[in-house]
Each structure stands twice: as structure tokens, then as C-alpha cells.
Chain A
Amino acid sequence: MSWEIVIGLEIHVQLATKSKLFSGAKVGFGAEANTQTTLVDLGMPGALPVFNEEALRMAVTFGTAINAEVCKHSVFARKNYFYPDSPKGYQTSQMDHPIVGLGHLDIQLEDGSTKRVGVTRAHLEEDAGKSLHEDYDGMTGIDLNRSSTPLLEIVSEPDMSNAKEAVAYMRKMHAIVTTIGISDGNMAEGSMRCDANVSIRPKGQQKLGTRAELKNINSFKFIERAINVEVQRQIDILEDGGKIAQETRLYDADKNETRPMRSKEEANDYRYFPCPDLLPVEIDDAYIDAIRQSLPELPDQRSARFVDQLGLSEYDAGVLSSSRALADYFEAVVAICNDAKLSANWVTGELAKYMNQNNVEIDAAPVSAVHLGQLISRVKDDTINSKGAKTVFDELWQQAGEVDDIIDANGLKQVSDMGAIEAMIDEVIALSPKQVQQYVDAEVEKRSKMLGFFMGQVMKASKGSANPGQVNGLFKKKLDELC
């Protein structure tokens, strides 16, 4: 049977506010347990929440960036449940009246076409704390530093039909939230994570299949793998005549499988109701318009500019505008070397390769945009050749120093002195009478292929530093004179 896959994503974006959603405590990663808390985050008796308006501004910025409906009236609601890392016994979220309503996002598919994915809503909510199960001798530790950290939960329509589309959607969201500066987008630290609702149905069937919810996926790679392995699991069950259970599952990256979460499923009733400690959030058109006016250049706009003004291919432009940090880096490189095409090649080529191999993001890349720009400039002005450039790049990655110092220290400067090159060529010709004779005897059209041997000898003699273009031209001239 042929199956159709239906995927919807709920993306949690941690907003880059200085303080928490409902308290003045600092938001931060990695601090000592329970040091970034106030009475509010600890759920002390009589403590009351105060809404952080910076989070509102960020949520509205997001709504305007994806051209969604921004709701002038939104309401915080309490989601009631007991868990030790939920200090108040409820999570403050938004239910019936979210801050952002219907919108959509266009994603680029691999075949170059564009697909529109619906955004159902985006709402503000507070994060929970963390339960720490290790190091407490059979007991559980509670760290409430993360408690009340602001999140924007972005809920999509079930519009994606394979894992690659889900990844493209997540990447596009990542590009937008980092471009508009509402999140650092750091997935390793959990600043952006998603739940994927996955179901399958026979091709052509209208009714949706039973879905499984894959919780807390925190990398692009895992989204693709988790969805694919879950889809296969569901196909196997249905083709064996089984039934899919509606449940929450976790993706285990080590085993590359999904498995049910502890079953705290038992028909959770969260008893949502409007939070009586917080007033409804009322905003007006002027507020929304002012934010819309101040939006930075968005990824799609930036990509179009890269094509129109910098002459990049659609593909390169799409890759380079996929995150604000990457696009900023690329533009900084261009600003130094003034060559968009070469810059694009280096950023999507050598730099991307090193980043992948070393598993670092652009922000943490040890080669600065300035250094890469200087390196490309040295290629352009023929100071080094491309082989030498790769050596320099590798040294820069090791943080060996400045570009010109590395070139000097490694003797990579191309020999462009015609006299020196000519002397080396004359020597090779003198030492290779047999090959010279073969060249002279060969048919004219086959001679250019035979230049390779002579080129190689000179490059070897110059330890790769001779300018290959010059060497090639001069050889041809000298050998042809002998014919």
C-alpha cells in the first residue's frame, strides 16, 4: 500500500528577554541551581506574576514578521497539573486568546518549488523548571532557574508531508526568529525545540490517521531522523494489521528509535481557565504598526537581495540567508574582499565543511569573517593560490594568527616573479629532454594535455608557490618555440 505522511510541528522558541516572563529574575543557561529565581519563580505563597512587556514586543514582532494576525486582546490562562518542577502547580500559558493568530510560512523544497505551510497560532507561555535525577542518591533535585523563562510556542497546521519539509519549515522558523532577534536559536541549549505530530494514512484517504506526538526534538538532524523512523514504525504496525496508539513518544538518538514516554497520559485534564492574577493584554494598531515598521530585513528579502544585487544563485542565496548569523557573516566577508561569488563559495564550501566536521555553529567558528575576507583578498590578488588558501584556512581554524603572517610563515606566497619562474622553467626543460622531444613530436592539438608534466615539475620545484597561470603560459610559449 502507498502511504501519505501528515506532519504538524509545535515549535518552542525561548525568547531572548533579559528577565523572565513573570518575574525580574535573570534568564540564563548554566547558572548554579536555583540562583536565578525570585519568590514568583519559586511559587512562594502570596507571590504574584508581573508580565514582562519585552516578551510581548517579541511575540508581536514574530507575528508581524510572518504576516500573521496579531491579536489586540490576548489572555493568559492557567494550565493546571502537578509536577515537582512546576512550582505553582500550574503553567501560565495562553489558551483561547493567543497573541498571534493565523499566518503562514513559505518553504523551499528540494526541487526548487515553494510550499506554503499554515501557522495556526503562536502563544506566550512560561517554561517549567528541571528535575535532576542524578547525583541525589535516589532522590530528585529540583532546579527552578528555568522556571518562568519566556517561550513562544508556534503551532503549525498539519501541512507537511515528509521529514525534509518539516526540517525546511523548522530551518525557516529558525532563520526568522534569529533574524528578528527574538531568540538566540541555540538548539543545543534548548532555546529552540519542537514537538512533531506524525500520522500516516493510505494515499487518497481524507480522514487523518491516529497521530503520535514526538516530544522535545532539539536538532534539525534529529527532526528528520525521528520523523522518518516514526513513519516507518507506523507503516510497519498498520501493514501488520495493527493499530496506532495516540500517545506521546520520545526519540532516542542513540538507538535511532522512538518509544512511549512514561505513561502520565491518563486523560490529562489541565482545567484551563483565565489567570486571575494577570490582566488581559490589550494592544492597539499603533503599537503593532510601530513594530511592523521596525522589522529588520527578513530572510526572504535578504535572499532576494543576494540574488539581485550580489549575483548569487538562488541556492547559495537561500543557504546563506537561512540564519541571521550566517548571512551577517557572509556579508561581513564580502565587505572585506568585495567578491560575493568567491565569498559564497568559501562560506558554503570550506567554512561549512569545517563547521560540520567540528560540530560548531557560525557564532562559534574560530575563523572570523574579517580573516576569511582577507584570505579571499589574497587569493584574488594572486598572493596565494587556492591550494595555499586551504592551508591558510586550516591554520586560521587553529587560530594560528593573522592571514599574512600565516602566508609568510608557511612560505605560501605565490612566486609571480617572471624571472624566477622562467629560470625554473628553463631548468625543467633542460633536465627533461625526453619529454620535450615527445612534446615536439606530438600533434598540435595533443600538446596542451602534455603540459601537465612540465607544470607539475615546476610546482614541485617551487613547493606549490608558483602562480600556475603564469607557469602554464610561459611553458607553452617556450615549448612552442622549440617546435
Chain B
Amino acid sequence: MTNKTLVQISKDLAAGEYSSREITQDIIADIKARDSIYNSFISLSEDLALTQADAADARLTAGTADILTGVPFAHKDLFCTQGQVTTAASKMLANFVPPYESTVGQRLLSAGAVCVGKTNMDEFAMGSSNESSFFGAVKNPWDLNAVPGGSSGGSAAAVAAGLVPAATGTDTGGSIRQPASFCNLTGIKPTYGRVSRFGIIAYASSLDQAGPMCQTAEDAAIMLNAMAGFDELDSTSVQQETPDFTADLNLPLQGLKIGLPKEFFGSGLNPQVAECIMNAVKQIEGLGAQIIDISLPNLELSIPAYYVIAPSEASSNLSRFDGVRYGYRCDQPEDLMDLYCRTRAEGFGTEVKRRIMVGTYALSEGYYDAYYLKAQRIRRLIKDDFTRALSQVDVIMGPVAPTPAFDLGSNSKDPVAMYLEDIYTLSANMAGIPAMSTPAGFVNGRPVGLQIMGNYFAEAKLLNIAHQYQQVTDWHLQIPTSKGMPVSNEEKGA
């Protein structure tokens, strides 16, 4: 089954090549056999998965199957799954079994998809390298010395390694796009409010958004069709008609206006990555698009502003992990204060504690105006930058990250260096616009992703562009060898 796309598996299931139970069993066996290399899964849900697979097979037999019916996938371990341990990659929730399913999870289950397990991630989605997980770092299938990116690093590694055809991710500051870029995948962060956040453990509520991570734009569009939609349980979910995201995939790109912000191509960008990106952009220009130089003048402020707003919200969102009702509780607390202090000191990892402290500080009396309020003003400036730019152009393109995947351990001692990795991705979350990553080449055997950003609710447009680009290239078809080198990197049609 290795590296079959979601569409291929769906066709095979429809054609009766194999049953959902068979492929589910194969996938779980494959994960058990190979995932010790990558550490991309935190838990497998074999029994639940087989129950779901049998139900899917019944639907396939009855002729009531959806395109996702019977297709196995994995959830980032931030999505609450009913009856299946959900950890957020933290010691704090290592024993937490939710009695409820996230809205996204429920929608995928209703479509008949089969959840085989929960993928590794940065603890509470805080990180850009998947090194902050309580369950250990994840390795990049393209190069076992490299990080897979984060925070949805387990989802990225699992799909890249061919363990599952698709996985869910969440993106608060780049956590879908950056690991997709590092692992040669197609990943999309939808418009804020497009996908319900209900049942997804919150990191920074005003920035969090869930999306799919797949091998192709078409697979991502199919997954997004199932995941998106208004949810009355999430007040920030948008009451907006959900289009069929596959409908526009084959539209021609004639006349498309692409904005290239000069701030995305400054001195911090690795020249080889820049070359990959410019090659990709030129190839899309060749499909009929027009390139326009633009500016997003407040882009560099997105890092300090993000690292005030996200930790501020996190410091409050993570207050509920107090050892009182569920999750980790310290041994033999002496009194209430001791219960709180030791539970949280022992239950959270270093990066989570760092962000809780940063956020607590930023919200404190006397600092609130200088940090939180100022960051919110910067956020509005960034949003205005995009509004202005997207009145001139249809989409904005650039790199996802300044470098290809970096070595494990290389940034982990220096949190600021790690934060700088997010320079190109944070702004889409700050503005709330959709953005995605699609494979665009390799640098020294490590993948490079092209970022495409669009206007609010323009996911179909982004997927259309990525799909058209994927029709004339085969970067997305490359699969890692066991040695961690691409099989081939020749271009199709170029």
C-alpha cells in the first residue's frame, strides 16, 4: 500500500481490489513494523479502526459509500477522539481518554474514513521541529538526521513515509505548512473559521486552524471537503457555504495574478530554497499567470507580535490543566498550591512552560498595553497589508520556510532561532487567510515547499493552483528511499 494516494485507495476500495478491513490491517501492521524508525505515531487505535473499517465495508457493499469511505487516515494527537487516548504529546494528558469526538473527527467518521491512530507532534502544538514531544522527537523520512518540521511533524512523517495516505494537522503559525514543506507534502491551512475547532485541544484560539496533510492537492481537497463546514459548537466558525473544493482543481491558470512580496525573498532566505521557489513561480507563470512584485511591509513584525499573542492565549488556554479533573496529577500534594505547582511543573515540558510564562508576563498588569495590545495593533497592520496586496493580486507566493529541514537538535537549544523559522508562515495566521504548501524541489535531498496564500475563503483557488502545478511537475510524487534520498527529481513536462 506504500505511498498510494487517497484517491487511488478510494478507487481500489470501490473496485473491490481489497476491503477497508484488509487495507486497515495492512496499514496498522506496516506502522507497527516501520514506525520505530520515524516515531511518527503516539498511539494506534486498532480495535476502533477495524470496527470503523467493517462499517465502511458494509457501506461499500451497500453502495452508500462516500469517496472517503473505508480510507484509512491518522489524526494529529491534538484532535480529541472518543475512547482513544488523546495526549497533545504531553505528559499532562498521557492518560487522557476523551468521552467525545472533535467535530472534524466526527465529520471524517461520518464520511466513512477510518482513523488508524494518533500522530506525534510538538507538545501542545508548540514548536517547529517536533522535538518538544513528551513521546520523543520524530525523524524526517527524507533524512533521518533531519527534523520533520512541526508542530504537525508526526502527521507529516507518517504520510511522507507512506504509512498513511492522509493525516489531519493544525496550523497556528505554520504547523501544517512547514512540516508539509520539510516532508514534501501538500498541506493546507484553511481560512480561520472554515474548519471547526471544537474538540481540538486549543493552543492559541484566535490563530488555530485545522487542515489536511496529503500527497497531492486533489487528496487535500477531498479531505478538506469532509473537514470544513459551519459548526454551532464553535462560535468562531464561519456561517459560510462550503464549496466542493475539488470542483475548481482543473481550471486553467490563464490570467492569474501572482504577487511576490519582496519581504519573502530577503537576506534570511537560503539561496537554494529561493532558487527552487523562483523556478516554481516561473513554471506557473508559464501556465498563463502573471507575476507582480508586491510588498508586505509589516511582515517582519509578525514574529514578535505572534510570540506575544499566541503565548498570551496559550497561558490562559492551558490553565485548565491543573490536576483537578483529568490528566496528570502530582503525587501526594501537600495542599492546593502544591497540587497546582507540582502538577504543572512536572506535567508540562520546557517549551510549553516557556510560552505559558511569556504569555502570563505579557498579560500582566502594567505590561498588557505594551505587549498584548501593541501586538494586536501590529496584527491589524499585517491584516491590512494582506488586504491591500490581495486587492492587486489573486494569490501571494513565496517560500514556506527560510531553509529546508534542519538537523535534529540544531535549533533546540536556541528558542529564538527556532522562532525565526516561522517568519513566512505566521502572517497568514495573523491575518486569518488561507495558505498552503506544495512540493517544489529539493536542496541536498531535503524537500522544499512553495507557499501559496490567498484571500479569505479562497481555498479552492489555492488548491486549483497547486493541482495545476502538480500536473506539470512530479516533486509531489517523489518518495523517500530507505536511505533517506529522493528516488528521482526530474521534472515532468519542463
Contacts and interface: CB of A to CB of B under 8 A. Distances in A.
- The bracket for how many chain B residues form the interface is 35 or more
B316 A273 contact: yes
A89 interface: yes
B205 A43 contact: no
Interface string B232-248: 11111000000000000
Contacts, number: 95
Contacts of A44: 98, 100, 326
Contacts of A373: none
B181 interface: no
A43 B325 contact: yes
A374 interface: no
A128 to B, nearest CB: 13
A80 B319 contact: yes
Given A45-B86, A45-B98, A89 B320 contact: yes
A272 B312 CA distance: 11
B316 A80 contact: yes
A271 B233 CA distance: 26
B319 A88 contact: yes
Interface in A68-100: 78, 80, 82, 84, 87-90
B316 A89 contact: yes
A84 B340 CA distance: 10
B316 A43 contact: no
A88 B360 CA distance: 15
A45 B201 contact: yes
A46 B199 contact: yes
A51 interface: yes
A271 B320 CA distance: 15
A46 B322 contact: no
A238 interface: no
Given A80-B363, A271-B363, A42 B80 contact: no
B364 A271 contact: yes
Given A87-B325, A142-B324, A273-B312, A50 B201 contact: no
B80 A269 contact: no
Contacts of B202: 45-46, 277
B336 A271 contact: no
A440 interface: no
B360 A271 contact: yes
Interface in A258-316: 269, 271-273, 276-279
A264 B323 CA distance: 20
Contacts of A468: none
Contacts of A48: 197-198, 233-235
A49 interface: yes
Contacts of B318: 89
B122 interface: no
Contacts of A82: 319, 322, 340
A78 B368 CA distance: 14
Contact of A273 (B98, B198, B200, B372): B372
B234 to A, nearest CB: 5
A25 to B, nearest CB: 13
Nearest to B204: A276
A42 B322 CA distance: 12
B203 to A, nearest CB: 11
Contact of B201 (A46, A87, A90): A46
Nearest to A140: B336
Interface string A380-395: 0000000000000000
A39 B235 contact: no
B219 interface: no
Contacts of B45: none
Contact of B368 (A39, A90, A273): A273
Interface in A305-343: none
A237 interface: no
Contacts of A88: 319-320
A47 interface: yes
Chain A binding surface SS class: loop
Contacts of B372: 273
B96 interface: yes
Interface in A30-68: 39, 42-51
A46 B102 contact: yes
B320 A43 contact: yes
Contacts of A51: 235
A332 B67 CA distance: 67
Nearest to A144: B325
Contacts of A277: 202, 205, 235-236
Contacts of A142: 324-325
B316 A78 contact: yes
B167 to A, nearest CB: 18
B313 A276 contact: yes
A462 B199 CA distance: 80
A44 B99 CA distance: 10
A279 B235 CA distance: 7
Contact of A90 (B206, B319, B325): B319
Contacts of B79: 46
B365 A269 contact: yes
Interface in B180-208: 197-202, 204-206
Nearest to B366: A269
Given A50-B235, A277-B236, A42 B363 contact: no
B102 A269 contact: no
Nearest to B363: A271
B109 to A, nearest CB: 16
A345 to B, nearest CB: 54
A46 B324 CA distance: 17
A268 to B, nearest CB: 10
A84 B70 CA distance: 43
Given A82-B322, A89-B319, A271-B316, A45 B88 contact: yes
A279 B237 CA distance: 10
A75 to B, nearest CB: 12
Interface string B92-136: 010010101010000000000000000000000000000000000
B479 to A, nearest CB: 34
B332 to A, nearest CB: 13
Contact of B93 (A45, A50, A90): A45
A45 B80 contact: yes
B78 to A, nearest CB: 8
Contacts of B86: 45
Given A50-B235, A273-B363, A87 B320 contact: yes
A50 B103 CA distance: 15
Contact of B100 (A39, A80, A89): A39
Given A45-B320, A80-B319, A273-B312, A279 B198 contact: no
Nearest to B336: A84
A271 B316 CA distance: 9
B198 A47 contact: yes
Interface in B226-270: 232-236
Contact of B324 (A49, A84, A279): A84
Contacts of B368: 271-273
Contacts of B93: 45
Nearest to A51: B235
A47 B315 CA distance: 16
Contacts of A87: 320, 324-325
The 10 closest A-B pairs by CB, nearest first: A89-B319, A271-B363, A276-B205, A276-B206, A46-B199, A43-B320, A45-B201, A46-B80, A88-B320, A269-B365
Given A87-B320, A90-B316, A276-B236, 13 more contacts: A39-B100, A44-B326, A45-B201, A48-B233, A80-B315, A87-B324, A87-B325, A89-B322, A271-B315, A277-B205, A277-B235, A278-B235, A278-B236
Interface of A: 39, 42-51, 78, 80, 82, 84, 87-90, 142, 269, 271-273, 276-279
28 contacts: A43-B325, A45-B86, A45-B96, A45-B201, A46-B200, A47-B198, A47-B199, A49-B235, A50-B232, A50-B234, A50-B235, A51-B235, A78-B316, A80-B315, A89-B319, A90-B319, A269-B365, A271-B315, A271-B360, A271-B364, A271-B365, A276-B206, A276-B313, A277-B202, A277-B205, A277-B235, A278-B235, A279-B235
